[in-house]
Amino acid sequence: MVIILLGPPGVGKGTQAARLADSEGWEHVSTGDLLRAARRDGTELGKKAQAFMDAGELVPDSLILDLVRDHLKGVAPEAGILFDGFPRTTAQAEKLGGVLKEVRRKVGRVVVFEAPDETLVQRLSGRRSCPDCGAVYNVHLSPPKQEGVCDRCGGKLVHRADDTPETVRHRLEVYQELTQPLIAWYEKSDARVVRVPADGPVDDVQADFRAAVR
């Protein structure tokens, strides 16, 4: 099964995808995480992406497609895949369709997570992430046991540079302008589009998410 997760910044795509992928052994492909890893590794692509990400703009499609194509080379052809934060533009969706077709696969489900903007801004202002293992916390809602330290690997937690209220508002505008139209785009395709309310507790959202991909 190839599943696409759509939804605005902070809606919980990463949190939900990580849980489902861990329990089912599926591949979780987050282009945001791949880009942050490229930045940490100091690759050319990471350097090119940095200014776009910090400003809350989308990274150019050509860079993203190279990144995804490279990553998919290491994924078993029959593995379940959860795409989180990709595609984000119609051009990316068209290219993904082509890449999947080459390996005789297609998008089976598009899950759209939804929550009010105020919830998203509040969640992102409290988000802390571990750059070493990728674990995500929230200082208001799901804090680590020791402030600033990852429960899972002991790494030093960071507040993402693009999680300031001003940049989050810009990311929301970018989502509405460039990514939200993909919902209608996929509704016209063979894929089944399912909307999941994502403003409840993490466990409830996970239950609805599992029902949506069954």
Is the distance from CB of 26 to CB of 79 less than 8 angstroms? yes
Report the candidate in 137, 151, 24 with the shortest Cα–Cα distance to residue 82.
24
> Is residue 198 within 8 Å of 12, Cβ to Cβ?
yes
Is 128 part of the annotated catalytic residue set? no
Report helix, strand or coil for 133: coil
Q: Tell me the C-alpha distance between 164 and 180, whole Å.
A: 22
- Asked if 86 and 29 count as a contact pair (C-beta separation under 8 A), the reply is yes
Q: Which of 3, 205, 212, 213 binds ligand AP5 (CB under 6 A)?
A: 205
Scanning 30-38, 98-106, 147-155, 180-188 for contacts with ligand AP5 by CB under 6 A, the matching segment is 30-38
Q: Which stretch binds ligand AP5 (CB under 6 A): 73-81, 98-106, 120-128, 148-156?
A: 120-128
Q: Which of 58, 2, 1 minimizes the C-alpha distance to 31?
A: 58
Residue 127 binds ligand AP5, judged by CB under 6 A = yes
Binding residues for ligand AP5, total number by CB under 6 A:
37
Give the DSSP H/E element, type plus range, for residue 29: strand 27-30
Select the residue interacting with ligand AP5 from 51, 75, 99, 141 (CB under 6 A): 141
Q: Minimum Å distance from CB 133 to ligand AP5?
A: 14
Which range, of 19-27, 147-155, 182-190, 200-208, touches ligand AP5 by CB under 6 A? 200-208
Report if residue 138 touches ligand AP5, rule: CB under 6 A: yes
Name the minimum Å distance from CB 146 to ligand AP5: 17
- Say how far apart CA 11 and CA 9 lie, in whole Å: 6
Site for ligand AP5 in 70-109 (CB under 6 A): 85-86, 88, 92
Q: Which active-site residues does the annotation give?
A: 13, 88, 127, 160, 171
